[in-house]
Amino acid sequence: MLNLILISTAFIIFGYSSFAMIMVRAKANPTLNNSDPDNAFSFVSYLGREQYTSEPLLSGPTFDAQVVDAEATYTYRKDSDKYTKVENGMNYKYDKTMLFPRVYSSRDQNHIDYYRDYLKIPEGQSPTFGDNLKFFFSYQIGHMYGRYFLWNFAGRQNDQQGQGSFTEGNWISGAKPVDQMHVGGQNAIPDSLKTDPSNNKYYFLPLIIGLIGAFWHFGKRQRDAGIVGLLFFFTGLAIVLYLNQSPLQPRERDYAYAGSFYAFAIWIGLGYLPLRIT
C-alpha cells in the first residue's frame, strides 16, 4: 500500500510538473504572452482561467435572475518591489437561484431566447427545476456529449456545426429506420450529402462491440473494468457536469471528451475476445 501511495504521488507530481513550462515561457517574454504568468498570483490566475467567466455548479442564478447585490473580489499584482492588492472582479447576488443550475446564462440575449425556445418556456415565465433538469439531460448530456460519442461509434451526418437542426451535425447510423426516426428525410437525401466525405455510417457496430467488451470485462476482471469505467466517466460525463456549458457554443466541443472515447475504444478491443471465443 505504501508503495502504491508513493508511486501515485510521484506520478501526480510528474504530471503537474508540466505546468512549470508556463512560467519558464513567461520569463522568456515571448511576443504572445497571455496574462504574463511570471509570478505566483498571475500564475494561479492563469491556471484558474480567471480571464474567462466562471460557470455556477452547485448553486446559481436562473437566466432571468436580476442582480440585487455585488461584492468586489481582490487579488495581488506584482509591482517593482512589492505586491499590490487590486480589484479583479465582482461576486453578484441574484433574486432567483436554484440548486444545480443548468439554465443560468444571461450574458447573451441569444442564450435566453434559446433556453425559452428549447424548453418551451413562455416569455415572462421563470424556468422550473424540471426545466433545468430537462436541459441538463437533453442538451448538455444528449446534444453536447451523447451526439459526439455516437459520432465515433455509430456515424456522423456531416461536418457542419450542429445547434439542434435536423440537417447539421447530427449522429446517424446507416440503419435507415433509426435515422428516419432520429433526423428524418432519409428518403430524400441529396447526392451531395451521400458523397460528402464527412458523411460516415458505422451501423452501430463499434458501439455494439464496445458494449460486448464492457460486459465481458466486468464479468471477467471487475476491478480492471472499474478502472476503465472511472476513466470513461471522469473524461466524459464528469466533464459535462463541470463545464456546465451554455447553449450556442462558438464551435463543436467534442475534443473535450476525447479521453472517454479512448476508454470506450479499450472495450472495443476487448470486445473481440468473447466474439472470438464464441
Between 270 and 50, whose confidence is greater?
270
pLDDT digits (tens, 9 = 90+) for 43-66: 888 888 777 778 899 999 999 999
pLDDT computed for residue 197 by the predictor:
92
Q: What would the pLDDT profile of 24-34 be if each residue is shown by its tens digit?
A: 888 888 888 87
Which whole number is the average pLDDT over 144-152? 97
75 confidence band (pLDDT: 50, 70, 90): confident
Q: For residues 88 and 71, what is the distance between their CA atoms, to the nearest angstrom?
A: 11
DSSP-assigned beta bridge partners for residue 76: 85
Name which of 9-23, 179-193, 209-223, 226-240 the model is least confident about: 179-193
Based on its alpha-carbon atoms, the radius of gyration of the chain, rounded to whole angstroms, reads 23
| Grid coordinates belonging to 58 | 452547485
User: What is the separation of C-alpha 158 from the centre of its chain, rounded to a whole number of angstroms?
Assistant: 21
Please tell me the predicted confidence (pLDDT) of residue 37.
85
Q: Please report the pLDDT score of residue 43 as a whole number.
A: 87
Summarize pLDDT for 92-125 with one digit per residue, the tens. 999 999 999 999 999 889 999 999 999 999 998 9
- Residue 110's pLDDT is 94
Q: Which pLDDT score is estimated for 159?
A: 93
Long-range pairs, 150-156, Cβ under 8 A, ≥24 = 150/207, 151/254, 152/206, 152/261, 152/264, 153/202, 153/204, 153/206, 153/207, 153/210, 153/264, 153/268, 154/202, 154/203, 154/204, 154/206, 154/207, 155/200, 155/201, 155/202, 155/203, 156/198, 156/199, 156/200
- Three-state DSSP class for residue 44: helix
Global pTM reads 0.85
pLDDT of res. 188? 84
Per-residue pLDDT averaged across 142-162, rounded?
96
pLDDT for position 278: 54
> Which long-range contacts link 83-89 to residues 24+ away (Cβ below 8 Å)?
83/41, 88/45, 88/50, 89/50
Per DSSP, the chain holds a count of helices (H) and strands (E) of: 13, 6
Distance CA 101, CA 56 (A): 7
- CA nearest neighbour of 211 among 195, 236, 232: 232
Instruction: Extract the runs of DSSP E, i.e. beta strands, from 14-124.
Output: 59-61, 67-78, 83-94, 97-99
